[in-house]
Amino acid sequence: MKDNRVALELRHITKRFGDVVANRDISLEVRRGEILSLLGENGSGKTTLMNMISGIYYPDEGHILIDGKNVVISSPHDAFAYKIGMIHQHFKLVDVFTAAENVVLGVKQIGGLNPQETLAQAEVACRREGLEMIPGEQAEVLPADGKHTVGVIKARSGDETVRLIFGLHGRRGYSKRDAVESVKAICTRYGFDLDPNKKIYNMSVSEKQTVEIVKVLYRGADILILDEPTAVLTPQETEKLFAVLRRMRDDGKAIIIITHKLHEVMAISDRVSVLRKGSYIGTVRTSETNEAELTEMMVGKRVSLNIERTEPRDPQVRLAVRDISSVSPDGVKVLDHVSFEARSGEILGVAGIAGSGQRELLESIAGLYVPDSGEILYNDPKDGETVDLRRKTPLQIRELGVRLSFVPEDRLGMGLVGNMSIVDNMMLRSYQAGTGAFLHRTAPKNLAGEIIRQLEVVTPSDKTPVRRLSGGNVQKVLVGREIAAAPTVLMAAYPVRGLDINSSYMIYNLLNKQKESGVAVIFVGEDLDVLLELCDRIMVISGGHVAGILDGRTARKDEVGLLMTGTEGGKAQ
């Protein structure tokens, strides 16, 4: 019989930061043996809410109940005590340690036993007594004769629930072999593919995420929270993760996933809870809803989720990258004989696992990074002259009349100055037009006002420092400024990262308008579904080299995923 008791319940939770109400009177629940997706626009309060469950924040009002009992969670240590584990987007691992060493790091083992070993002995005791284990139930260690040698666990005997007391066989001290065996036991139980002896610095992003999940399971967590777990995974890695999550659900775990990818919500979750502007909107069964309905719940109005991809008109080679290579100071080859063409009037998508050379490639074209060899040839549409940009500085590129707009991955680190106002950040593109010691502020001020209106930037005024804006609004300011520069080549690295659905599709439409006006657009994205729907061609980078260039209209998602992992060749277009 499936255990569908309420594992976690939130009642009237409110959290304030000064005058800002991040969460307002939120009530929701997650049951054992289910996967609940938490949806909401950027800034809707999803992460704040989960941070209160995991002990990072403390609610100003309301109650948190675990298994029907009111609890106080004032620290991550308290959360672990209530068997709650959160896997964050940014991993907290020690690179020079192995997977097993990271998993057991910081765990105080009572009597030489960890929670998984205690549970294993409980399973043996239940089988011996003819009892049925309750999915998700954890064994408790009790003192006997001054030593922790007795365990107790709830189990089923027919229709009755009983408490079984069993003897624990401990061991002394800690050994690396014990850690490895514990990790292997968890991996076998849920189907993880992980080498316990592998160093973190040798792992892929997917493997690191697996270590983080195994860490919370090792600590006995049966309520798991995953924040954007598929953000940097390939389609194949995502399917593996989903298979593991389903096995954990079937084992009685209560799982909450924070995600913005609606197709993944439909594929993995049992129910969906939606937040909007810090308030709870509602919960629906996944089988009884669709992407359009969920989007309307999130945004508060109907949003078109279609991207119109027009055929390129008279595409001309605007940028030709020829055999560029580069080695980092650590001796790692970050660019490996990369060659491709960017054409006017088309969008060239760039797909790849994070850290595959995308950043170095775009910075090389923008003059911010100098590759060791190769050519970056720009064909000026005004006079037909061809210029090699590889040895040019960003200023020299601008003096040549080459208009390369660059939306970097690091917004405030490279794209904008956080302490400057929106107007002053506009002026960074035009200050050289001033006369002598005076600057022309009229045009930048007009541009700031136009961007605020057209892109619906939420800000008190155009004088507000951009560091005070939300991540999504910072992104709008940056993308708007770069597009307003009327470039001939527009490079956009993750331009919708941190944006809500409505703003994301607004950016996609802006990129399409640039394409239709004859701009060569290079779009680096994370969402393969968007790349396949938006781009005319898709270049896949794997380990610093071009694994293949595919036609965006005929390419398949699994095909792109395999190229990203370097397991299959591709055909150039």
Strands 34-40 and 254-258: parallel
Q: What is the pLDDT of residue 1?
A: 46
- pLDDT number for residue 498: 64
Q: Tell me the C-alpha distance between 343 and 270, whole Å.
A: 44
The dihedral formed by the CA atoms of 337, 342, 348 and 349, expressed in degrees to the nearest 10: 30
SS3 percent helix, strand, coil of the chain, rounded to 5, is 35, 30, 40
What is the mean pLDDT of the segment spanning 67-73?
92
CA R_g for the chain: 27
- Max Cα distance, the chain (Å): 91
Return the higher-pLDDT residue of 528 and 483. Answer: 528
Name the pLDDT band for 414 (thresholds 50, 70, 90).
Answer: low
Most confident of 161-170, 266-275, 354-363: 266-275
Given this model, what pLDDT does residue 540 score?
95
* Paired strand residues for 257: 37, 226
Q: In whole numbers, what is the pLDDT of the chain averaged over residues?
A: 84
CA atoms of 84 and 75, how far apart (whole Å): 11
User: Is the pLDDT at 147 greater than 50, yes or no?
Assistant: no
Q: Which helix (H) or strand (E) holds 121?
A: helix 115-129
| Nearest alpha-carbon partner for 141 in 156, 119, 157, 162 | 119
Higher pLDDT, 143 or 344: 344
More confident residue, 565 or 31: 31
pLDDT at 405 over 70: no
User: Measured between alpha carbons, how far is 312 from 318 in angstroms, rounded to an integer?
Assistant: 14
**Residue 554's pLDDT band (cuts 50, 70, 90):** very high
- Whether residue 413 has pLDDT greater than 80: no
Assess whether pLDDT exceeds 90 at residue 234. Answer: no
Percent of the chain with pLDDT over 70: 87
Whether 130 has a pLDDT exceeding 90, the answer reads: no
Average pLDDT over residues 436-454: 80
pLDDT on residue 398:
72
What does the pLDDT look like over 527-552, one tens digit per residue?
Answer: 888 999 999 999 999 989 999 999 99
Cα distance between residue 373 and residue 327, in whole Å: 10
- Cβ(191)–Cβ(50) below 8 Å: no
Range 12-37 average pLDDT = 93
